[in-house]
Chain A
């Protein structure tokens, strides 16, 4: 199977996505309104409308390997204004999830992935996000030790950085949610 085009006699990429998310990317007629309103386009290798195109022609590799899916801010501007009512931001979620599963994410997504993993790691441990803990973990994962070093003392002085984490009482319950949803589509 070529991952650059839908193969004959197989469910197309677009059909596959539609079956899982209920969103039909074939409705996209490439008007570009999503791209026009997307605040993150300067950080993306493909524009949002190009990602829709890649899904339409079944180019899985390019879509899943793009920086676009990681730099989508989930601001929903695209989904709100799409004249064809394609839920573009939701498609980005589905593509991210799939890229993670297939371990195809773009190298430039490293810091973003580090952030997402640190965030969810913190929630998994205590049921709530502990910002300081999350930042420490992120900096280790992203090997990004020097950004915002000047901001941290200012925040600390203003009492914005809490060193001790608050936790839910029933940590088991939250951990179970992570277990049960792991690997599910």
Chain B
């Protein structure tokens, strides 16, 4: 099955290391990545918060392109992108009027059947056995706090991915590397997401709660699968916290023997080196 890769805007900028680690890992696990040609921004929360139709039309163009390019499913590593792609599709699949309106807005026909969209965890889950056999540098003794945030699991009826209150899929993937997921309380709490710039104090307040809880439960690092979560948790740490935040793909990459530099581990604001030594 041909999978279209939809990196999204962040992975071309502040989350470049997420993109690097995905490409390294895909190579290491021998998984094909075909970037969707001429994909555009999903609009993130900015679009749906201010213009409902725009929030549907921006993902629609990328989905229509993918379908036209013969891609049968989409891998969208950014949690916001995968969320928007799934939520937008759900709306027009359930309502012919919405579909017509969206098609008019993008001037393209939408595929009749839903195009499955995989988030970062969902992309790795089917290859869990492959990961286990590929592990050359097991991360035994590393306590990791898997952090889902909002957009991987909510709204649950639309996404239908894992349990919204007690998800386990990221732990499953992380455990395949030999790392030890810790039980903690703030796995699905919001980090403040898009308020990174416009309400920095809110983000700092929310990130502090999350990081303090992860550290208190003994975590050596926090694992994320969303560039927004990463940016906030990595850059907005309270003084003296120094809790590294890694992408799930970086964690798996390390375990299967990819070099830390190739995984972009040096790009983080909170240093990682000591935690992975």
Contacts and interface: CB of A to CB of B under 8 A. Distances in A.
- Note whether A and B contact each other (Cβ less than 8 A): yes
B39 A180 contact: no
Given A80-B164, A97-B50, A148-B197, A39 B16 contact: no
Contact of B51 (A73, A97, A114, A176): A97
A155 B13 CA distance: 10
B30 interface: no
B200 A158 contact: no
A174 B43 CA distance: 11
B61 A177 contact: yes
B190 A80 contact: no
Interface string B52-82: 1111011001000000000000000000000
Interface stretch (B136-144, B175-183, B266-274): B266-274
Interface residue tally on B, bucketed by range: 35 or more
Given A158-B267, A170-B38, A80 B43 contact: no
Contacts of A154: 269
A159 B53 CA distance: 35
A97 B52 contact: yes
A160 B194 contact: no
B14 interface: yes
Nearest to B9: A129
Contacts of A151: 235, 269
Tell me if B's interface is mostly helix, strand, loop or mixed: helix
Interface string A108-128: 000110111001100100011
B23 interface: no
Tell me if A's interface is mostly helix, strand, loop or mixed: helix
B275 interface: no
A155 B164 contact: no
Interface stretch (A7-15, A49-57, A161-169): A161-169
B101 to A, nearest CB: 8
Contacts of B38: 168-170
A28 interface: no
B107 A74 contact: no
Interface string B186-218: 001110111101111010011000000000000
B106 interface: yes
B140 to A, nearest CB: 29
B49 A131 contact: no
Interface stretch (B127-135, B148-156, B244-252): B148-156
A17 interface: no
A115 B225 CA distance: 24
Contact of B48 (A93, A169, A174): A93
A119 B53 CA distance: 17
B44 interface: yes
A180 B105 contact: yes
A181 B57 contact: yes
B210 to A, nearest CB: 10
A115 B39 CA distance: 23
A155 B200 CA distance: 17
Given A79-B155, A160-B267, A169-B38, A39 B206 contact: yes
**4 closest Cβ contacts across the A-B interface?**
A129-B9, A75-B190, A76-B154, A115-B198
Interface of B: 9-10, 12-16, 38-41, 43-55, 57-58, 61, 101, 104-107, 150-151, 154-156, 164, 188-190, 192-195, 197-200, 202, 205-206, 235, 266-269
Given A39-B206, A148-B200, 8 more contacts: A73-B193, A73-B202, A74-B150, A93-B49, A93-B52, A129-B44, A159-B16, A170-B38
23 contacts: A40-B192, A43-B202, A74-B45, A76-B150, A76-B155, A80-B156, A97-B50, A97-B51, A111-B198, A123-B58, A128-B40, A130-B13, A138-B197, A148-B197, A154-B269, A160-B13, A160-B16, A160-B267, A168-B39, A173-B106, A177-B106, A180-B57, A184-B101
